[in-house]
Amino acid sequence: MWQGRGKTAIAGIGYSEITRKPEKPLGLLAIDACRAAIADAGLQARQIDGLATYPESPFAGAGNRDGEDVVSVSFVLNHLGVAADVNWYAQIETGMIASPVIEAANALIVGACDYALVWRALHRPAPTSGSGAGKGAPRAGGDAQFIAPYGAASIVQTHAIAWRRYMHRHGATREALAALALNSRRNANLNPRAFFHSTPMSRDDYFNARMIAEPLCLYDCDVPVDGCVALIVTTADRARDLRNRPAYLAGYGQNTARRRALLYYTLDDYMACGGSLAQKLWSAAGLGPQEMDAAQLYDGFNPSTLYWLEAAGFCREGEGADFVTGGRIALGGELPVNTFGGSLSEGRMHGMGHIAEAVRQVTDRAEKRQIPGASAVCAIDGSPMLRGSGIIVTRDP
């Protein structure tokens, strides 16, 4: 069990507007989210003496222009009005979205800061001529030189190949992905921050949607947006004196398994790779999948959620397609999944929305989506085919 279990907590959540037509540059959206998180915790900006982010651009060819494509520690230092002499910061260049939360928790445990602000800002690139699958740059380097000339230039194609393999291996159909997408949209319709809050989806809508990379359709892909989510992380003792009930950090996991190099990771070792992260997560918290009241599982592409259900131990390999049907993952089901709408319907926040919703559920702040008495919720990001990280938050320390 992790020695830091219950010693830190998430005490504030802040969202900017989530939009596809921003009237502000990304940097100002990030400042909006950070200010909202600070206010939500009942703090002042000058009390923030720790900063952490994962600023990597979410799309190929980004210019990495601070305040436009990414929002760095320096940008927040210069524009938010935090402590004049910040004690600690981390700008994570590797890992996944939970990584800055994990770094902040460890910094707080050793006394490096008192109140840490964590954020992730996402930019949607403007469409350009010649973009899309198979229409990338005229020259391809690295691994891309072996696949791009054949039209394999998009990450969605990688996920489509993997899902086709899963369907063949386990007899699954698109009905499983429809169940996941419809569940997320129903939950997003209850989430006032979600991009698709006011847009319902029917089964016919799903099956009539255009294909992006067969067998994955438009609604199997997350919705790219401009926006930011921010969190306040502090020690458990300090959190208990703040405005909201804190969500205690019970454990975390990161995938560091060694793997052979492949051009495509198409389910070759997703159970072992995802299982490595999950085992660290359950061991650190002293809890297991059967004790989760909900699971916020990454859905940058729809099948990833199903793979996480298997790799993390919620069901056995090959059973994911059956697991997600029949209402089991609905708000009133056995294991509510992506209760806020996920990346598919809230918007592409790269896992920060998943963490924020886990916090809301264990602190009775999930509005119409609230699971009565939720005491432990996990949030896992990334894909078990690639890399991932995750945390568990609990109602009690």
Fill in the DSSP letter of residue 81: -
What is the arithmetic mean of pLDDT over 137-145?
A: 75
For residue 144, the model assigns a pLDDT of 81
Quick one: pLDDT band at residue 131, thresholds 50, 70, 90?
very low
Q: Is pLDDT of 153 > 90?
A: no
When the pLDDT of each residue in the chain is averaged and rounded to a whole number, the result is 92
Q: Is the pLDDT of residue 148 over 90?
A: no
With cut-offs at 50, 70 and 90, classify the pLDDT of residue 386: confident
- Tell me the pLDDT tens digit for each residue of 222-263: 999 999 999 999 999 999 999 999 999 999 999 877 777 777
Which pLDDT score is estimated for 385?
85
CB-based contacts of 385: which residues, under 8 Å, 6+ apart?
Answer: 162, 265, 266, 267, 270, 273, 304, 307
- Rounded to an integer, what distance in angstroms lies between the CA atom of residue 382 and that of residue 134? 24
Q: Assign 132 a pLDDT band (cuts: 50, 70, 90).
A: very low
Can you read off the two tokens belonging to residue 212?
A: 């992006």
What is the rounded CA–CA span in Å between residue 168 and residue 50? 49
Predicted local confidence at residue 129, as pLDDT: 46
Using pLDDT thresholds of 50, 70 and 90, give the confidence band for residue 95: confident
Six token digits for residue 137 = 């740059």
Q: What is the pLDDT of residue 128?
A: 54
Residue 125 has pLDDT above 80, yes or no: no
Q: How confident is the model at residue 130 (pLDDT cuts 50, 70, 90)?
A: very low
pLDDT at position 155 is 86
pTM for this predicted structure: 0.95
Domain 8-126+224-239 has CATH 3.40.47.10: yes
User: How many CA atoms are closer than 13 Å to the CA of 121, on its beta-carbon side?
Assistant: 31
SS3 content of the chain, % helix, strand, coil (to 5): 35, 20, 45
- The answer to whether residue 62 scores a pLDDT higher than 60 is no
For tokens 């909900």, the residue is 294
- 3-state secondary structure (DSSP) of residue 371: coil
Q: Confidence band (pLDDT; 50, 70, 90) for 154? A: confident
Question: Dihedrals φ, ψ of 168, to 5°?
Answer: -65, -40
How many CB atoms are closer than 10 A to CB 390? 34
Are 184 and 339 within 8 A, CB to CB? no
Reported as a single tens digit per residue, the pLDDT across 332-349 is 999 999 999 999 999 999
What is the model's pLDDT at position 367? 97
For residue 19, the 8-state DSSP code is B
Cβ 253 vs Cβ 281: under 8 Å: yes
Question: For residue 347, which amino acid is it?
Answer: G
In this structure, the number of other CB atoms found within 10 A of the CB of residue 83 comes to: 18
For residue range 6-57, what is the model confidence (pLDDT) as tens digits? 999 999 999 999 999 999 999 999 999 999 999 999 999 999 999 999 877 6
